[in-house]
Amino acid sequence: MALYSEKVMDHFRNPRNVGVIEDANGVGLAGNAKCGDIMKMYLKIEDEVVQDVKFETFGCGSAIASSSMATELIKGQPLSEVRKLTNQAVAEALDGLPAYKMHCSVLAEEAIQAALQDYESRMTKEDN
Ligand code: FES
């Protein structure tokens, strides 16, 4: 059996939603101290829905595929759904990752949740 699923290879070779959103209203960063990989997520949220999402990942192929798949999973979704996104869901959508590569999908979950927290803290500041 191949080490990586076709979906992982596809998202690694042709990552979706790569880049920066200049007027993002939620930005999150996640890193793994052991491997040194870093992922940054940009969210453009309007009416409690993720209208746009982009990412920059300086990391391994599984991290790139995980970021790409995660952006596809949350684009157009309400925040109530995005809050529930787990790394397991990202890995499942990729038809699995090798066990020692599961931490790569954790970066996607953490970067998105950090971006949501950033959005929420900006909203709180605006309200005050
Ligand atoms: Fe660390 Fe993939 S090896 S994110």
Residue 89: which region, alpha, beta or left (left: phi > 0; alpha: psi -120 to 50)? alpha
Beta bridge partners of 31: 38
Q: Which is higher by pLDDT, 2 or 90?
A: 90
Annotation marks residue 104 as catalytic = yes
- What domains can be seen in the chain, in order of their start residue? 6-127 (3.90.1010.10)
- Paired tokens of 54: 């982009």
118 lines ligand 1 (CB under 6 A): no
Mean pLDDT within 39-49 = 98
63 lines ligand 1 (CB under 6 A): yes
Annotation marks residue 35 as catalytic = yes
Q: pLDDT tens across 75-124, in order?
A: 999 999 999 999 999 999 999 999 999 999 999 999 999 999 999 999 98
Mean pLDDT within 43-58 = 98
pLDDT at 125 (0 to 100): 83
User: pTM for this structure?
Assistant: 0.95
* Proportion of the chain above pLDDT 70, given as a percent: 99
Q: What does the mean pLDDT of the chain come to? A: 96
CA of residue 104 relative to chain centroid, distance: 10
Among 34, 35, 40, 69, residue to substitute to test ligand 1 (most atoms within 8 Å of Cβ): 35
